[in-house]
Amino acid sequence: MRFLLSAIGSRGDVQPVVALAMQLRALDQEVRLCAPPDFAKWIGSFGLPFVPIGPEWRRSASSVRQTPRVPASPTRVRQLAAASLAVQFEVFSAAVEGCDAVVAVTALQVAARSVAELHGLPYVFATWSPAVFPSPHHPPPPLPQSGQAPAPATADNAALWAENARHFNDTFGAALDARRAAVGLPPAGDVRSHMFTDRPWLAADPALAPWPGPADLDVVQTGAWILPDERALPPELESFLAAGEPPVYFGFGSIAVDQHLTTTLVRAARALGRRVLVSRGWASLAAVDGQPDCLAVGEVNQQTLFPRVAAVVHHGGAGTTTAAARAGAPQVVVPQVYDQHYFARRVDALGVGSAHEPVPPSVDSLVAALTVALRPEVADRARALAAAVRADGAATAAQRLVAAHAAAPR
């Protein structure tokens, strides 16, 4: 069997799909990956067939960083959605040839189910956070680039989810149904329900991010899809770790943050007598003064690094939050967009760190957040959570996919 696996997003969205691909290959299945062209070389290093889709994700992130966050008009949003759907239909229609099933992740892939339907193929939608799925127990995540603030705790979640559904329909409905009609398919109906299906998959760890209900949405929680990483840490980093007490790690992945933020990070850690490890990320953060208590590094093995740091300060991406939880590291989450607000709330609720307000941090706000995260009782709870975090989510998902396809009528 051959599975088409597709992710439109950053490294945090693509890496779990690679984890699933490797598990499927271990079961003697064939895979083909769709992802932004940024990841062609990296995915190719695993020997996985690759189909690029859309523009480079990093270039898009850079464009957002250089322009004010002013929400586009509804007309412009619909135009962008129609253009994205056109690309998706074209790429997916070619990529799906010779495949037996389609797995799509992230709520940007509105065309994937239609292409699977057209070819008579099973389709699975998966995501990394419970917050993506409608539930009375949490609000929908603020839509990227919408200018929305996270909903307050007193918000009417049902009303917010109804508005979220209207947004999907207003943005994609007409363009999606036009594309479907052109290939002989009936209207999709509610776009969000069409994309998610009534049995979506949640690739998140049950201890960290459990599905809270409702029961009428039959969510399959597989556990997080974790790609094993056996890489050694760079010699410079090993030397830094060996030279003193565990540092505080700061990293914001692909999030657009101001390069001057590094000064704030370093000052906050030094105010608490802590050494500093800064991940450059897509914002190209750098060490500020060349002092021996501070080091900037590129992309490294978090699975090896995080057990050796005092705390992890990050943006709240699902992958980083899971990696820190699995390592037993206390966390400070500074959420910026989408489901990062959910993970900030979870870290706070579990008592394994603190949730920073979704605003650029100051020295004082980081000192306050780190003071909480560095308490001994927080470290104890973080280690207890680590013992509960599973590492077999990708294997579970791969086995379910193979079993479901084997049981499907021919």
Residue 102 structure tokens: 């389609």
Q: Strands 2-7 and 123-127, how do they pair?
A: unpaired
Number of CB atoms found within 10 A of residue 148's CB: 16
Among left, alpha and beta (phi > 0; psi -120 to 50; other), residue 5 is beta
Instruction: Name the nearest CA neighbour of 293 among 343, 240, 251, 235.
Output: 240
CA atoms of 331 and 278, how far apart (whole Å): 15
Domains and CATH numbers, the chain: 2-226+391-407 (3.40.50.2000), 235-388 (3.40.50.2000)
Provide the residue type at 343 as one letter. Answer: F
pLDDT score, position 351: 98
DSSP state of 410: -
Q: Please list, residue by residue across 261-295, b when 16 or more beta carbons sit within 10 angstroms of its beta carbon and e when fewer do.
A: bbebbbbbbbeeebbbbbbbbbbebebbeeeebbb
- The SS3 call for residue 124 is strand
pLDDT score, position 61: 53
Q: What's the CA dihedral at 63, 67, 70, 71 to 10 degrees?
A: -10
- Matching residue, tokens 């290939």: 183
Residue 373: burial class (beta carbons within 10 Å; 0-12, 13-18, 19+): buried
Report DSSP letters for 51-95, one per residue. Answer: EE-SS-HHHHHHHHHTS--PPPPHHHHHHHHHHHHHHHHHHHHHH
pLDDT score, position 388: 97
CA atoms of 145 and 340, how far apart (whole Å): 14
Please list the rounded mean pLDDT of every run of 10 residues in the chain (410 residues): 94 96 98 96 96 84 48 83 93 96 93 96 96 94 72 88 94 96 96 96 98 89 97 97 97 78 93 95 77 93 97 96 98 94 97 94 96 98 97 97 79
CA atoms of 82 and 356, how far apart (whole Å): 36
pLDDT score, position 35: 96
pLDDT score, position 261: 87
Residue 35: burial class (beta carbons within 10 Å; 0-12, 13-18, 19+): buried
